[in-house]
A and B are shown apart, each in its own frame.
Chain A
C-alpha cells in the first residue's frame, strides 16, 4: 500500500513538472492588441484601449465581440455549446477566447510578439 502511494505521488509530480515546463514557455505580459482569427486566417486587429463592439461574421457562424476597459469578451454567439460566451473576460498577453464550432480564435498579443509572429508566419 505504501509503495503504491509513492508511485502515485511520483506520477503526479512528473505531470506537474511537465505542466510547469509548459507554463514557463508561456510568459504573460500586459497585452496591447486584439487579434481575431477565423479558420487560422487573421480577420482583424483591434486596440485593447479603445472600447468597441465588433461583429464577426464568417462561413462558420456569427459572434459578437466586445472590447471594454481593456477587457475582451464574447457577448453572443450562434454556436451550439456557448463555451466562448461563458468564458471569462480576457485582458493579458496570450490569453484567448476560442469558439470551436465557429472556428474562431480571439487572442491578445503585445506588439513585439505580433511582429515576430508575422515574420515567422
Chain B
C-alpha cells in the first residue's frame, strides 16, 4: 500500500513536471515570437528586449535552477526551426548559455534579488552575442560594447519588473512548494 502511494505521487510529480515544462517552453516560444514581430535593429546582432528571458528567470525561481537552461535550449532550437536563420541561432545559443550561467552564479550568492539577476542576465546575453559576432565576421566590432551593455541593462530592468510582478500575482513559488513537486 505504502509502495503504491509512493509510486502514485512520483508519477504525479512527473506529470506535473512535464506539464509545467511544456507550459514554460510554449511561453518562451510565444514571447520570442512577439519579440520577433517588433522591428528594432541597432548594431550587428540587432538589439532585442529579450522577452523570452522572462520564462527562463521564472523557471529558475520556480523550479530547480537547471530547468531554466533546458527550457531556453529547447526554445532556441524550436525558434531556429521556425526562422531558419543560422546566425541568429548561434547568437541566441551563445547568449542563452552564457547569460544562464552568470545568472546562476549571481543568484547563488543570495545577495541579489530577481531584478539584479535579470539585469546581469540581459547584459551578459548581449555581450556574448557581440563576442560571437566578432568571431563570425573576423573584424573588431567591440566598438558596440557600450550600446550593448546599456540596452542589456534596460532590457534587464523591463524583464525583471515583469517577472517579479508575475511571481507575486500568481504566487508560483509558493504553490509549487506546497505541492511538494520538487
Contacts and interface: CB of A to CB of B under 8 A. Distances in A.
Interface of A: 4, 7-8, 11-12, 15-16, 18-20, 22-23, 26, 37, 39-40, 80-81, 83, 86-87, 94, 96, 98, 100-101, 103-105, 107
Contacts, number: 80
B87 A100 contact: yes
B115 A8 contact: yes
A15 B45 CA distance: 20
Given A81-B88, A100-B45, A11 B139 contact: no
Main secondary structure, interface of B, reads: helix
Contact of B145 (A7, A22, A104, A105): A22
Q: How large is the interface on B (under 10, 10 to 19, 20 to 34, 35 or more residues)?
A: 20 to 34
Residue of A15, A96, A98 with most chain B CB atoms under a 10 A cut-off: A15
Contacts of A80: 85
B139 A100 contact: no
B93 interface: no
B98 to A, nearest CB: 15
B120 A11 contact: yes
Contacts of A19: 145-146, 149-150
Given A7-B116, A39-B138, A101 B87 contact: yes
Interface in B141-181: 141-143, 145-146, 149-150, 152-153
B22 interface: no
A55 B154 CA distance: 38
Interface in B26-56: 39, 41-42, 44-46
B112 interface: yes
15 contacts: A7-B112, A8-B115, A15-B149, A16-B153, A22-B142, A37-B137, A80-B85, A81-B87, A86-B41, A94-B143, A98-B137, A100-B136, A100-B137, A104-B137, A105-B139
